[in-house]
Amino acid sequence: MKKRALICGVGGQDGGYLAQLLLNKGYEVFGTSRDIQIGRFSNLEVLGINSQVELHSMAVNDFRSVLHVIKKTQPDEIYNLTGQSSVALSFEQPVETLESITIGTLNLLEAIRFFERPTRFYNAGSSECFGDTNGEPANENTPFRPRSPYAVSKAAAFWEVANYREAYNLFCCSGILFNHESIFRPERFVTKKITSAAVRIAQGSKEKLVLGNLDIYRDWGWAPEYVEAMWLMLQQEIPDDYVIATGKTFSLSEFVNEAFQACGLNWHDHVESSALFCRPTDIKMGVANPSHAKESLGWVAKKDMKEVVRLMVQASSAKLEGGE
């Protein structure tokens, strides 16, 4: 029989790519959104898989709603990709961020325990949990020092997963993912803001791109590769947590330079920095050590920041030329 997978948050960037991966592996795929009648699933449409994913409405912070969907779909694997996903927005909506991530994760774990089926659970963690490690590469044993409501929420969810794994012997894992991008990133994320602006300016726009602190460093990877690591975590004999990253760190100014260079422009002529776009607290440098994923999962990132930027620029150019 086909394996059944439930992707909570299938309408997001990672949800679409994960659904595609699982379908290609022969899974029966179910996806959730708070309200599928008004939800946007353009990622599934672009990938050409919208008719192959069975959608269900589910409010992840409502335990009864979670129970209902899990009972109906009977999944072998659950992927928790839902919850407020923007660090910047979490400062404006801290309660929504905390509830959607921590209570949502707890409800899913409790539902798995309630049904007593051998369901395997993946939780989307975040490198934001580490805070600033002063340039030291973060691995699975690096202490958390979260510096945003989003990071605090993700850290709490991580320990919920660890607790249920130890206390109830559930097969549950957290992927501590560093920044990963794709053509599906919304404009509120700085990477998409940069690549889209560079393309518009190259095609005649007179706008100035205004950013916050350009002197931050991040490890940027390609989202379609990262969802494979999620799947691999649930195929192991023993559940564990994994840092997922390229292992290469670049500054935001280098990211900006790569985007404008891909459009034949000098970024210094088109970019300004403003304190208005700086966060109350931010991480100076994100550096990763993904060796555990390489050794235990056999997973290694293939695309680094420069190729990620080129792919995002190409997608933005094609979209603009198509009149979208």
| Model confidence pTM above 0.85 | yes
pLDDT at 324: 57
- Asked if 17 is an active-site residue, the reply is no
Strands of the 28-33 sheet, one edge to the other: 53-57, 28-33, 4-8, 77-80, 120-126, 172-177, 242-244
Q: Let me know the angle formed at the C-alpha of 226 by 295 and 316, rounded to the nearest 5 degrees.
A: 145
CA angle 310, 312, 315 (to 5 degrees): 110
Of 265 and 86, the structure prediction assigns the larger pLDDT to 265
279 pLDDT band, cuts 50/70/90, is: low
The DSSP line for 120-134 is: EEEEEEEGGGG---T
Give the pLDDT confidence score for residue 303 in this predicted structure. 96
Q: Which of 33, 65, 126, 148 is catalytic?
A: 126
Confidence check: pLDDT of 26 > 70 = yes
Read off the tokens for 209.
């791109």
As a whole number, the mean pLDDT across the chain is: 93
Confidence of residue 192 (pLDDT cuts 50, 70, 90): very high
Structural domains in the chain, CATH included, are 4-180+222-244 (3.40.50.720), 182-219+248-287+303-321 (3.90.25.10)
- Tell me the average pLDDT across 295-304: 97
Write down the pLDDT at residue 136: 94
**pLDDT tens sequence across 119-158:** 999 999 999 999 988 889 999 999 999 989 999 999 999 9
pLDDT for position 90: 81
Half-sphere exposure of 96 (CA within 13 A, CB side): 12
CA distances from 87 to 2, 12, 28 (A): 37, 15, 32
d(CA 77, CA 170): 12
The single residue of 150, 164, 226, 242 carrying the catalytic annotation is: 150
Question: Catalytic residue among 128, 160, 181, 258, which?
Answer: 128
Work out the angle between the directed axes of helices 149-168 and 104-115 (0-180°, nearest 10). Answer: 20
Alpha helices in 203-262 (DSSP H): 223-233, 252-262
Distance, CA of 162 to CA of 141 (rounded, Å): 13
100-114 pLDDT tens trace: 999 999 999 999 999
Decide the pairing of beta strands 217-218 and 250-251. antiparallel
**Per-residue pLDDT, 274:** 84
321 is known as an active-site residue: no
Rounded CA-CA distance 6/17 in Å is 14
| 159 vs 167: CA distance, rounded Å | 12
> Per residue in 33-76, pLDDT tens?
988 887 779 999 999 999 999 999 999 999 999 999 999 999 99
pLDDT the model gives residue 322: 66
| Integer Cα distance of 279 and 276 in angstroms | 8
What is the average pLDDT across 212-220? 93
- Whether the per-residue pLDDT at 323 is higher than 70: the answer is no
